[in-house]
Chain A
Amino acid sequence: MRWFSLRRLAGGTWFVAALFAGTVVLALAAIEASVETQNYQRGLLDASAYNATFDYSRAQIEVEKLARLVEGFGAGRADRDELEIGFAVVKTRLDTLPVTINGRPFKDAVAARDELAATCDEIAARLPRTAGPAMAEQMAGRLETLARTFSRLATTANAVQGDIIEGWRTRLSSALVDVGISVRLLCGFGFLLLATLVSQKLYFRRQALTDPLTGLPNRASFRDWSHRAAGAKEIAIAVVDVDLFKEINDSCGHQRGDQLLCQLGALFREVTGLRSEVARIGGDEFALLFVGPGAHERAETACTMVTRRLAVLQGTACDERRPTLSIGLAASKDGSRDLEALLLEADAAMYAAKSSGGAAIVQATDEFRSRLEQRRRLQRDIASAVSRGEFETVFQPIVDVGTLRAHGFETLLRWHHPEFGRLAPDFFIPLAEETGAIVEIGRFVLDRALAIAANWPRQLTVSVNVSAVQLGDRAFVSHVKNSLARHGVAAHRLILEITETVLIRNANAKTVIDELRSLGVGIALDDFGTGYASMGYLRQYRFDKIKIDKSFVSTMNQEGKSAAIVRAICSLARDISATVVAEGIETEELLGLVDAAGCELGQGYLFARPMSALQTSRFIERYGWCASAPVPAAANDAVATAAAR
C-alpha cells in the first residue's frame, strides 16, 4: 500500500520537482554550513595555536628572578655577569612579549611592557653607580611590583583567551549541528528521491510489460517467460486466436471487440491457476503457459473450459453469432523442447485450427510436428527448386467440345522433390505463396510455357495460372510483355488464368488486368462457382474465358442442380461475350452433357492427362488442331497412359 501511494506520488511531476528543489536547497545549506564549520575550526585552531598566558607567567618569574639578582648584587651575593644575564633575559622577554591576543590589542600588556622597559632602563642606568643594599632593595621592590602586574596579566589573558576560544567553540558546535541536520535531511530527501526513482522505474517497467486493454502481460513480457520455464521438465503452451475477430470489430464496433478481449482475458485468468501464465501477444491472440507436473493436462483442461465458458458468456457479440476460438496446443513432457520451439508449434497448430474453419483445439502432436517440419523443409527447398531444375511444366489440352479439336493447352506445374518425389501444385503453391518464391516460379512457368508454345501451330493458345502474389508483383506486366516478345508468341495466344481469390487479394487487380488486356493477353476466370461466384466480378472485369470448376461438371450426371448451374453459367457467359471452359470432363457422358449445356470448350482426362512438352508435340502432330482432324475421344486412353508415365 505504501509503495502504491509512493508510486502515485512519483507519478506527480510536482512531487518529483519538490523533492528535487528540496534536495538542491538542502545541499546548498549543507555546503554553507560546512564552509562555516571550516572557518570556525580555523578560528579555533588559530586561537589555540599560541598561549600568551604562558609568556606573561614566564615574564613574572623572570622579573622576580631579576629582582633577586638585583638584591643579591646590592648585597654582594651576585656578580655582574649573573646580573647581566638576568637583564638579558628580561630584555628578551620585553622584546618578545605578546601585546595582542588573537589579533586584538591587549592594552594591559602594552602598559606592563612599557613600565618594565622603563624600570629596566632605570635600574641599568643607576645600579652600577649607586650600588648599595638600600638602592638595590628599592629596585628589587619595584621589580616585585612589576612581577605581580605580570601575574595579574597572565590571569587576565587566560580569561580573555578562554573567552575567545569559547566563542569559536560555540560557533563551531552550532555549525556542526547545522551540518548534521542538513546531512540527515539530505539523506532523507536522497532516500525519498531514490525510492521515487526505483518506484517509477518499476512502474514504467510494469507498464511496458502490461497490455493496457486487458491488464494481462503483453508480448514483451511473454518473451521473458523463457526464464520461468527454464529448467522445467513439463511445459505446455496454448496459443489462442479469436475467430473472425475482424468481422466482430467491423460489424459490432471496436468497442465490442475490445470488450470481448477483456472478457477473454478475465476468462483466461480464471481458468489458469498457479504455475501458469496468460499474456496477450497480439491483437486477438493470447498465449497460455503451463509449467510443472501435469502441464499438458492442465493446458487441455484450461482450453476446454475457456471454450465452454465462452459459449455461454453473455454479451460477447452484437448478433446471434457467438465468438469462437482457434487454439493451438504444444507440450513437452521431458524438457526436450524449449519455450521458443513450443511457441512456434502451438502457433502453427493454432493456424491449422484456424484454416480448418476455427472453433477447434489442435494439438501439436508428433505427427503434426513432422508435417510441420516437412512443410518448413519444403518451404526452404522451394526457394531453390527453380535453380535446381526440379520443376517440370506439363500441358493439358483444352478441346473444342463441338469439333473435339485442340483449342489450346493449360500449363501445369510439377515439382520433383529429390526426397518426397512428385508433388502436386495444390500442395506446394500455397507454400511458395507464403515465402514469396511464387514470383520466381511464376516467371519460370510463363517463360517455359511461351518457349514451348512458340513451337506449336499459331492457332493454339497457352494458358498459364497466375497467383495473387504474382499479380501483386509490380514488374508482372512488363515481364509478361518481355516474355512474349522474347519467344515471339502473339499476345492473344496467351491466356492468364486468375481465380476469384486473386481478385479479392489484390486491390489493384483491375489496373493490372486492364494493362494485360491492352497487351492483347486473354484473361480467364478460373474455378468459377467454387468461391463467392460474385456477379460483381463479371460486371467489373472483362473475361475472355470462364472456367467452370470440375466439382460442377463431374456431378452433372447426378441428381441435383449442377447441370442447371452449368447451363446458366454458359448462358450468362454467352451474354457477356466470354467462352466457357468446362473442367473435369472424364467420360463421354459428361462430354455430351457439357455440350448440351452449351459449353464451347472442355478439359479433362477424357481428352488427355497433363503431358510433357514432347508428348504435347506428338499429341498435336497426331490429333491436329483447329481446322485439322478432331481429337478422337477413343484415342484418349492411349494418350492418357502415355502422359501418366
Chain B
Amino acid sequence: MAITRRALFGAVAAMVCVGAPSVARSGGGLDDPDRPILAVKRGGVTLARFSRADLAAMPQTKIVTHTPWASEATTYEGPTVAAFLAGLGETGERFHLAALNDYLVTAERSLLTEAGAILAIRENGRFMAVANKGPVFVMFPFDADRRLQSQQYYSRAVWQLVEIDMS
C-alpha cells in the first residue's frame, strides 16, 4: 500500500513539475521522494538519513490547525516526533533543528513530544515541495492547546527541516 501511495505521489509530483518554472523543473530532484532529505546526527556525525518516502512509510498523525503563516486552518500529516525518535532508538534529550534557510533552533525532547509535535510531510493531503515549506515541517497542534500559541512553540515549528542533531 505504501509503495503504491509513494508511486502515486511520485507521479503527481512529476505532473506538477511539468507546469512549474524551468528552474523548479530542472531541479525536480529536490522533491524526489527517495532522495534523503532529513539527516539525523549526533555531535555532527550522521547516524541516519531519511527520504520523504521513509517518513511517509511511518505511522502518520494528522493535525488540523491555524498557524501564523496561513490564513486558514490547514491539515498537516506526518509521523509524530515521539514515534520517529522511538524508531531511531536514540536517547538524546536535546536537539538542534536545522533548516534549509540556515534557521537553527534547539529544543528539548520533552517539549516536542509532550506537545504532540509531528514531522509533517503533507499539507492538505499533498506532499510539501521544498519550495513550499517541505519536505519536512515540524508542526504542533496549536488549535488543540492554547498554551502552544506562543513564541516558544512557534519558534520550534521549523519548515524545510533538514537536520536533527542530538546532544
Contacts and interface: CB of A to CB of B under 8 A. Distances in A.
A58 B101 contact: yes
Nearest to A51: B151
A269 to B, nearest CB: 73
Contacts of A92: 101, 130-133, 159-160
Interface stretch (A82-90, A201-209, A464-472, A550-558): A82-90
A537 interface: no
B69 A62 contact: no
Contacts of A62: 101
Interface string B121-152: 00000000111110000000000000001110
A171 interface: no
Contacts of A61: 102
Contacts of A45: 150
A531 to B, nearest CB: 100
A61 B69 CA distance: 18
Contact of B101 (A93, A124, A128): A93
A567 B159 CA distance: 141
A49 interface: yes
Interface string B50-77: 0000000000000000001110000000
Given A49-B154, A92-B132, A96-B69, A128 B159 contact: no
Contacts of B4: none
B17 to A, nearest CB: 12
B22 interface: yes
A88 B131 contact: yes
A84 B150 CA distance: 32
B159 A96 contact: yes
A81 B24 CA distance: 10
Contacts of A125: 21-22
Contacts of A473: none
B15 interface: no
A52 B24 CA distance: 28
B100 A85 contact: yes
A84 B103 contact: no
Contact of B24 (A48, A49, A50, A124): A124
B160 A49 contact: no
B30 interface: yes
Interface string A34-70: 0000000000011011111000001001100000000
Contacts, number: 77
A388 to B, nearest CB: 90
B148 to A, nearest CB: 10
A91 B151 contact: no
B68 A50 contact: yes
Nearest to B160: A92
Contacts of A80: 23, 26-27
B147 to A, nearest CB: 10
A276 to B, nearest CB: 72
A373 interface: no
A316 B157 CA distance: 101
B115 to A, nearest CB: 15
A52 B6 CA distance: 36
A84 B101 contact: no
Interface string B68-88: 111000000000000000000
Main secondary structure on A side of the interface with B: helix
A57 to B, nearest CB: 12
B130 to A, nearest CB: 4
Given A58-B101, A58-B103, A96-B133, A87 B154 contact: no
B146 to A, nearest CB: 9
A240 B93 CA distance: 92
A50 B160 CA distance: 19
A98 B100 CA distance: 20
B38 to A, nearest CB: 15
A568 to B, nearest CB: 116
Contacts of B131: 87-88, 91-92
A84 B151 contact: no
Nearest to A129: B22
A61 B104 CA distance: 14
Contacts of B70: 96
A95 interface: yes
Interface string A85-127: 1011101110111100000000000000000000001001101
B27 A84 contact: yes
Interface string B18-60: 0001111011011000000000000000000000000000000
A153 B38 CA distance: 32
A93 B102 CA distance: 13
B101 A91 contact: no
Interface in A487-509: none
B44 to A, nearest CB: 21
A63 B98 CA distance: 19
A254 B161 CA distance: 105
Contacts of B101: 58, 62, 89, 92-93
A80 B23 CA distance: 8
Nearest to B128: A92
B133 A49 contact: no
Given A89-B160, A92-B159, A50 B26 contact: no
Contacts of B69: 95-98
A95 B133 contact: yes
Nearest to A83: B23
A124 B23 contact: yes
Contacts of A87: 23-24, 131
Nearest to A91: B131
A87 B24 CA distance: 8
A128 B151 contact: no
Contacts of A83: 23, 27
A45 B152 CA distance: 12
Given A88-B160, A98-B68, A128 B132 contact: no
12 contacts: A49-B149, A58-B101, A83-B23, A87-B23, A88-B129, A89-B160, A91-B132, A92-B132, A95-B132, A98-B69, A124-B22, A129-B22
Q: Which 7 A-B pairs give the minimum distances between C-beta atoms?
A: A84-B27, A96-B69, A124-B21, A91-B131, A88-B130, A88-B131, A89-B101
Given A84-B23, A98-B68, A127-B23, 13 more contacts: A45-B150, A50-B68, A58-B103, A61-B102, A83-B23, A84-B24, A85-B30, A88-B30, A88-B100, A96-B69, A121-B21, A124-B24, A128-B23
